[in-house]
């Protein structure tokens, strides 16, 4: 499902005041509208769980992209705000479900919902958020409704693909297929739907759709890389969850037979031990990744996706919003 983002975007630290002001105002409006909408659902028995999940001060990146895409083609922010909220609900639902699958104890420095209440209530709250998202999106017409539905199906399919563990079974091609579905699909749907809801042409919507996909691919790759440079623990969190990322896949494909055995041994240790911080296994795997230059390889792939994302929007006619979208790319480049 949706990616669990480890980094904060440095919006507030960016030197360009216009971009800072735009993002700050848009996020404030998103927060306000989310609060109002959640407050309108007191009759739901799952209201406390939904409120807890949604009003946890996330980055609101996907609704921001809905708004940016709509305004970049001349659309009205107020008109597309319910659609922006729908995408935040979709994203939040995937986080709730991810925490159940991964058995994570915390989310955004608070107890995960399934820990604060129960797995059953968390599952139902996530399902309720999807239902609310579908209801909100349905008012924008069949094309947008189908786009949202397809992204939801892609998220589920990508999450299922992520369950596979053996590096012998996973290629770079299958990895990129997985993150395209699990992560990039929601970014792509947000930008495409935002452009259509904003009154954009099909050409403009396709350009923003491509931007969203490439931005989302880079976003997930960056997240994978950050697991290798975690300064607070000695564990590789993705491996502990049974998730193989591109640095390990590339390393496994480009190392010697002896190094491949070291990776296999390390992976078996992760699978068989109850420890969440197996220092020796981590060191063995990180050493092979370093020797094969896999981190540098992945960083180049991030740059390639981001370069393409900027190229995708080069024909947008409103330079102010084209610049803001490009600034989103720069923020991701400098994160981590």
Residues 59-97 have pLDDT tens digits of: 999 999 999 999 999 999 999 999 999 999 999 999 999
Question: Residue 3: pLDDT band by 50, 70, 90 thresholds?
Answer: very low
Q: In angstroms, rounded to a whole number, what is the distance separating the alpha carbons of residues 104 and 114?
A: 9
Q: Is residue 273 predicted with pLDDT exceeding 80?
A: no
Total-model pTM: 0.90
pLDDT of amino acid 234 = 55
- What's the mean pLDDT when you consider all of the chain? 88
Poorest-pLDDT segment among 131-140, 164-173, 232-241, 280-289 = 232-241
Homologous superfamily in CATH for domain 11-333: Farnesyl Diphosphate Synthase (1.10.600.10)
E strands, the chain, are: 106-107, 110-111
Tokens 């919507």 sit on residue: 205
Is the pLDDT reported for residue 283 higher than 90?
no
Q: How confident is the model at residue 5 (pLDDT cuts 50, 70, 90)?
A: very low
pLDDT tens string 170-199: 789 999 999 999 999 999 999 999 999 999
Model confidence over 208-266: pLDDT tens digits?
A: 999 999 999 999 999 888 877 654 455 667 777 767 889 989 999 999 999 888 888 87
Identify whether the C-beta of residue 238 lies closer than 8 Å to the C-beta of residue 21. no
d(CA 255, CA 99) in angstroms, rounded, equals: 33
Inter-residue contact 249 to 175 (CB < 8 Å): yes
């Amino acid at each position: 499902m949706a990616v669990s983002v480890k980094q904060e975007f440095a919006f507030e630290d960016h030197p360009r005041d216009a971009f800072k002001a735009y993002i700050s105002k848009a996020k404030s409006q998103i927060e306000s509208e989310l609060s109002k909408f959640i407050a309108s659902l007191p009759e739901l028995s799952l209201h406390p769980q939904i409120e807890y999940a949604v009003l946890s001060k996330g980055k609101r990146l996907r609704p921001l992209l809905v708004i940016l895409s709509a305004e970049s083609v001349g659309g009205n922010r107020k008109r597309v705000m319910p659609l922006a909220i729908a995408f935040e609900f979709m994203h939040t639902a995937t986080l709730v479900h991810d925490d159940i699958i991964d058995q994570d104890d915390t989310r955004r420095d608070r107890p995960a919902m399934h820990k604060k209440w129960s797995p059953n209530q968390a599952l139902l709250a996530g399902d309720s958020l999807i239902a609310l998202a579908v209801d909100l999106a349905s008012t924008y017409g069949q094309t947008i409704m189908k786009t949202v539905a397809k992204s939801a199906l892609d998220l589920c399919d990508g999450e299922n693909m992520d369950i596979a563990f053996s590096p012998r079974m996973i290629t770079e091609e299958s990895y990129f297929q997985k993150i395209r579905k699990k992560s990039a699909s929601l970014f792509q749907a947000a930008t495409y739907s935002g452009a259509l809801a904003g009154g954009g042409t099909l050409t403009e919507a396709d350009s923003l759709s491509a931007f969203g996909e490439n931005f989302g691919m880079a976003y997930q790759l960056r997240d994978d890389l950050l697991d290798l440079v975690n300064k607070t623990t000695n564990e590789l969190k993705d491996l502990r969850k049974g998730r193989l990322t591109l640095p390990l896949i590339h390393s496994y494909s480009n190392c010697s037979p002896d190094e491949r055995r070291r990776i296999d041994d390390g992976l078996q240790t992760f699978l068989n031990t109850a420890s969440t911080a197996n220092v020796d296994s981590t060191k063995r795997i990180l050493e092979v990744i370093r020797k094969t230059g896999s981190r540098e390889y992945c960083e180049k792939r991030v740059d390639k996706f981001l370069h393409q994302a900027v190229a995708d929007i080069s024909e947008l006619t409103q330079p102010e919003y084209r610049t803001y979208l490009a600034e989103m790319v720069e923020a991701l480049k400098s994160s981590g």
